[in-house]
Amino acid sequence: MPAGGAPAGTPNGRRAPVAVALDAPDTATALRWGRAVAPHVAVLKVGMELFYREGPAVVAALRAEGLLAAPEGRTGPAPAAPGLFLDLKLHDIPATVAGGVRSVAGLGPRFLTVHAAGGRAMIRAAVEEAAAASTGTPIAIAAVTVLTSLGEADLAAVGLAGPALDAARRLAALAVEAGATALVASPWEAEVLRNEVGKNVTLITPGVRSKGGERADQTRVATAEEALAAGADLVVMGRPITAAADPAAVAARLAATLNGVSRVADLR
């Protein structure tokens, strides 16, 4: 049992560097999934489907059950519960984005997403507001580079100069320069981005699937092991876990497999 009395997610007591996307239609479903996976993973992600319907109350409900760490910060060498990844993908004029950050800062997210394509001033506004409004654990502004659902033809269709790797590099550099301390990209870009932004930026990769697994709407995909080996700190997984017959078993298996692969010991 790790210090702090947290349940052991992996054989050595570390939580796996996985953010489970709770893309649930309601709080009851999110709580059910959260109970199943929280003992095994470092982060729970609340995104637009759940947050638009349930609002801040869903975060309070997850915390009330001990499924999310308290916003005040660490209580010991091992986190008592997963951290909150609030995935709202803010993308608007700087003042509006700053207002959005201010409105959710009290929820104590460990990560909060903005679209890097919103530009330097917007990202800087988010970063500054996050620093000013944080009430506990610092909020990392995570800039989403090129969505993992997009392929090369999609980039061309929206007028984003590709290939995806170049677009991700460009957006990552801009975001880090504007103060973002986390980046979201596909596993395909992880190695290059890691080399370019250094080790102090948290690299988050969605688009994670098992070998031959159902891609659904994802395009630039790899396995969790591949993503971590390429330099990711945290992999995001939703449906491969939450749509499984037994999400707890899938999360436990994943945690056991990833134990030892991760670069960061107790991400949260």
| Site residues (CB under 6 A) for ligand OMP, limited to 211-240 | 216, 218, 236-240
- State the binding string over 176-215 for ligand OMP (x if CB under 6 A, else -): --------x---------------------xx--------
We find the least distance from the C-beta atom of residue 233 to ligand OMP, in angstroms, to be 14
Q: Which residue number, 35 or 239, has a Cβ lying nearer to ligand OMP?
A: 239
- State the binding string over 142-181 for ligand OMP (x if CB under 6 A, else -): --x--xx---------------------------------
Pairing between β-strand 140-144 and β-strand 182-184 as defined by DSSP bridges: parallel
- State the binding string over 99-128 for ligand OMP (x if CB under 6 A, else -): --------------x---------------
Nearest to 89 by CA among 123, 112, 66: 112
Q: C-alpha distances in angstroms, 71 versus 74, 82, 243?
A: 9, 11, 29
We find the least distance from the C-beta atom of residue 35 to ligand OMP, in angstroms, to be 19
Instruction: Note if 26 is an active site residue.
Output: no
Instruction: Note if 89 is an active site residue.
Output: yes
* Residue positions forming the annotated binding site: 23, 45, 87-96, 148, 209, 218, 238-239
